[in-house]
Every structure is written in C-alpha cells, then in structure tokens.
Structure 1
C-alpha cells in the first residue's frame, strides 16, 4: 500500500542507504524445557515461603528486614531524602499505572519488530498473572505490617506483594520476549539477569517503605518470576495461534 504524500517525511540530511541498515534476526524461541525447570525451582521456593508464613516461621526474618532501613526511636528511614526518593522512584516501576504503560509500550514495540507471537505472549502473561496474584492474596489474607511507620500509601492484603509479583512477571516476561531477537546465550542471559535484578530491587523497596514484610516480597517475587517462565513455556502455542490469526495480522499492519 502506497503512503500518502502527507505521510512522507522530508529528511534534513541524506537518509542512510538501505543496504547499510541491518535489522537483527528474529524469531528465536525460548527453550521451553529450561523455562519449565526454572519455573519449577521458583514455584518450590514460593510454596516453601507460603508454608513458612502460614505456620508463623518468618517472624525473625520479617522483623530484621523491616528494621534494616530504619533508625532512631521514631524508626525514621536511613540515608536522608535522597535515598528515600530513590526508593519511591524504584517502587513506582512496579505500580499498576506505570507497569501497565510499560507493558503496552513493550507490546507495541514487539509489533513494530514484527514479533506478533512475543507480543501476544507478553500480554497473556501479564493478564493471567494479575488474576493469579489476586487469587493468592485472597487465599492467604495477611494483614500489612505495623512494625514500622509506612512511608507510602498501600491498601489490600499483604501476602504476596503485588508490586513484587507484577514486577518479576512483567520485566522477566519482557526480557524473555525481546530475547527472541538474539540467538546468543550471553545476550539472552544478560537480558533476563538484568530483569531479575531490577524486579528484585522493586520488591525490596516495598520492605524499605514499610508496607510489606520481607516474606511478602520474597514470595511475590518468586511467584511472579515462576509465572513468567511458566507462561513462556505453556502459553507459547496459544500465543502463536493468536499471532497467526487474522486479528494478529491486522494488529501488525496497524503498526506499519
């Protein structure tokens, strides 16, 4: 389909010759066996944390974690306002509003790169993951900690941490999606490793703000990471079928 004249951009400098532009190869799938092994290990850790919390075994760990960032008789945060603002900025990356915008942006970017399968897989991972986390919160029904003053607003049940679950699910899910642009293991592992570190920082920020127990964020992060790997393996074929459907082709056409 020819572009309309109003859609044509006139460059201020000579455009780069077409033969000098190289797009990365695309379509390298995640090894689903490895994904399931990683998911199994993480689900086992999540189940152990659920057992410990429901049997009141995590008291010492929770108390230590909540006091680690506090000092003085009034339990104010260490490090001054600069550290406090950094913690608040970090935790915002796992909030519903910002993380939703990030998922939408990532899905659109994947469509621009003609990675329809990965775009559908990422959206499905996040959609079903949010439902799974809400179910976990409802089943456990743990109250939020009152050991130290809260440094941000937070509502609902405490276990598992929604920020921790969502950040692990979203950022690891995104890393798995964009890993399909490279066949090099070093690139793939770097993407996934960075996503794991970033999501772990978001998870621990909830403890630093006093709105979650350390056991909440540990279980939340493990559950979110486990779901990201599980979805990459089990939702691959449904996502591929959706990407190859008429709707999938129309979405790709809309981004080009």
Structure 2
C-alpha cells in the first residue's frame, strides 16, 4: 500500500449529497396534450369505422395466425416466448395494474405531489368508466380463430387490457415526469410507458383472446384518454389538491411561475 492509499482518520467525512424534490412539479404542455389526444382519438374512430364496416377481417386473421404454427394450440418458438407473453399480459391485468396504480398514488403523495396524485387517480377512474361504456356499445364477441391461451371474459372491442393499461401506465408516466424540468427526460419516460402499454396490448393478440383491431383501438383510446385527461382534468385536480393542503406551496393562480410548459 502506498502513502496515497492511506486514509487520515482526522479528515472530515464527505457530506452526503442533498436531494431536493419539488413540492409542486412541472406539468406537460396542455395544448400539446390536446393535440396528441386528438390524433389518438381520430385513429380510434378510424378503427371503429373499419370494424363496424367489416374492413378489418384480413388484418384480424393475419394478426391471430402470425404467432401460431401448424399446432394452433401453442405459440410459435420456444417456451420462453409463451412465458414472456404471459408475464407481459399480467402487467395489464386487474390485480397488477391496480396495485401499480395504488402504489403510484401513494408515492406521489409521499413526494408531496398532491396535484399529480389527484390527476392520476381521476384519470384512471374515469378511463375505466369510458372503456366499460364503449364495450357495452360495440358488443363484439371474442375471436374463435385460434384457441385461447388464457382465460378471458366479456366483450372483445375495445380490449380492456389495452385501454386500461395505456391509461394507467401513460398517466403514471405523465405524473412522474413532472419531477423533471427537462423535456428529454419527460419524453423518455412517457415514450417508455407508451411502448410498454403497446406490448401489453399485442400480448392479448398472441394469446388469442383479442383481434388485432380490438387491441389497436383499445391502445389508441387509452392513450388518447390519458392525454385528454391530463389536459381537461388538470385544473380540477389542482383545485382539489390545494383545497386539501393546509399550506399550499404555490397559490392556485400562480401556475405561470411554476415552470409549466
């Protein structure tokens, strides 16, 4: 050991790094959120029109058959593929999806991001209502082209897994993205949530319980609702959060000074 490797016990310890979290985070640009929602809901409307006019038959059959070989009772490829698909689809199931949502609300409250917690909870709750209403209106039965590789009940269009997963994970990403003022960080977080929810959506096709048009419409509608709620429910969520905070960090009318963009 050289002399440079020795430690003098009389030297003062290195101070711990101080991490400061904002009491009120940034928020996404609500105009951009409305534009994103409009594009996504327009795509949803196109899929609804295509399904109701019978224009998705070939696409739906292709999507269901592409992951099956001669033995339609199993996915093509090694067992790892089927196991991975089941793991991915579980992320959009009622249990895990709601556990993550509850955990996100608790984490946001611990971080003193009441506005984001209220907005996220409202987005998830209203999204579930919207999806349930659309399922009742369309009433499409589930596919029978290939055997189902998991249990599934209820109507098929739009996919509830796809819609609610997109709502939960994208809205969660929008909430936690408020911790950073850097656009690149926000876009990365939200983009990752969109990719994850899209993977959950397609896993339903691979398992044979949804048509590709079901999950496409479900994902577009869920993502569209996450952005639409972020824009329309922001002010009510902020008012509700400030009304429950005895010492609000920022007055309700001073949003322009919080770094919102």
TM-score of the aligned structures, taking structure 2 as reference length: 0.86
Q: Does the 8 A contact of 2:131 with 2:163 survive in 1? A: yes
Q: Does the 8 A contact of 2:63 with 2:211 survive in 1? A: yes
- 2:18 aligned partner: 21
- 1:81 aligned partner: 79
Deviations 1:209-247 (A, max 9, x none): 00000000000000000000000000001101111123x
Q: Summarize the alignment of residues 111-130 of structure 1 with structure 2, pairs less than 5 Å apart.
A: 111-130=109-128
- 1:225 aligned partner: 223
SS of aligned partner of 1:37: helix
Runs of at least 5 residues in structure 2 that lack an aligned partner in the other structure: 1-12, 248-261
Q: Does the 8 A contact of 1:107 with 1:122 survive in 2? A: yes
Q: Does the 8 A contact of 1:243 with 1:249 survive in 2? A: no
Displacement of 1:23 after TM fit? 2.1
Deviations 1:96-144 (A, max 9, x none): 1110000000011111111000000000000000000000000000000
SS of aligned partner of 1:149: coil
User: Aligned partners of 2:65 and 2:54: how far apart in 1?
Assistant: 19
Query: Runs ≥4 in structure 1, deviation > 4 angstroms?
Result: 15-18
Q: Of residues 134, 141, 150 in structure 2, which corresponds to 1:152?
A: 150
Runs of at least 5 residues in structure 1 that lack an aligned partner in the other structure: 1-14, 251-256
User: Aligned partners of 1:93 and 1:81: how far apart in 2?
Assistant: 19
Displacement of 1:74 after TM fit? 3.7
Q: Of residues 209, 212, 215 in structure 2, which corresponds to 1:214?
A: 212
Does residue 1:50 correspond to 2:60, yes or no? no
Q: Of residues 80, 98, 101 in structure 1, which corresponds to 2:99?
A: 101
User: Aligned partners of 1:16 and 1:219: how far apart in 2?
Assistant: 55
- Which protein has the larger Cα radius of gyration, Structure 1 or Structure 2? 2
Displacement of 1:24 after TM fit? 3.9
Does residue 1:173 correspond to 2:171, yes or no? yes
SS of aligned partner of 1:126: helix
Q: 1:141 to 1:16 in 2, by over 3 A?
A: farther
User: Aligned partners of 2:14 and 2:81: how far apart in 1?
Assistant: 44
TM-score of the aligned structures, taking structure 1 as reference length: 0.88
User: Aligned partners of 2:94 and 2:21: how far apart in 1?
Assistant: 32
Q: Does the 8 A contact of 2:21 with 2:111 survive in 1? A: no
Displacement of 1:30 after TM fit? 1.1
User: Aligned partners of 1:21 and 1:226: how far apart in 2?
Assistant: 38
Displacement of 1:80 after TM fit? 2.6
Q: Does the 8 A contact of 1:24 with 1:182 survive in 2? A: no
Give the aligned length.
Answer: 234
User: Aligned partners of 2:230 and 2:115: how far apart in 1?
Assistant: 11
Displacement of 1:17 after TM fit? 4.7
Displacement of 1:82 after TM fit? 1.2
SS of aligned partner of 1:77: coil
Q: How large is the RMSD of aligned CA atoms in angstroms?
A: 1.6
User: Aligned partners of 1:128 and 1:147: how far apart in 2?
Assistant: 33
